[in-house]
Structure 1
């Protein structure tokens, strides 16, 4: 059975494919084949600095400062873990 494209009102229409035949799609074909290598680090450090700048604003009580500091600590741990993981992984 040959596949033909038919022209209907100036548009090309391909016949429906057999449902049992599924072609493997490679991620490179639709654009997602890399990690955010530097974007992840730059975004993380930028967020860390923004949270630090928010500490300089006036707070009604210390709960806001405590929440900002705890988020900064979690973010710092994640960023340092990511740097160490990238340095010790087998391949890039």
Structure 2
């Protein structure tokens, strides 16, 4: 007689970065991923360029507030991304 046990069988975690070739056939014949380092570099350069745009010929503070706000928002997101990358192995 076979009886079900009360122990919970845990399934193995499927990696977020793994791609099953049946789902996306391009993974069989080529690269499939992202550019994390280049994305961060582009993000920091964009945030710095927004701050450099403060030196212009505009007169009002509205443009300055938008440039500063967007730049700070981008920098905050980039810092969170770096923090997430550093602590990803702990999870």
TM-score (norm 1): 0.65
The answer for the alignment partner of 2:56 in structure 1 is: 57
Return the structure number with greater relative CO, CA threshold 8 A, min gap 6: 2
> Runs of 4 or more off by more than 4 Å in structure 1?
none
Instruction: After TM superposition, give the deviation of residue 31 of structure 1 in Å.
Output: 4.0
- The total of aligned residue pairs comes to 69
Which has more strand, going by share of residues?
1
Query: Structure 2: where are the runs of 5+ without partners?
Result: 1-20
TM alignment of 1:11-50, pairs within 5 A: 24=22, 25-29=24-28, 31=30, 33-50=32-49
Which structure's CA Rg is the greater one? 1
TM-score (norm 2): 0.65
Instruction: After TM superposition, give the deviation of residue 58 of structure 1 in Å.
Output: 2.1
Query: Structure 1: where are the runs of 5+ without partners?
Result: 1-22
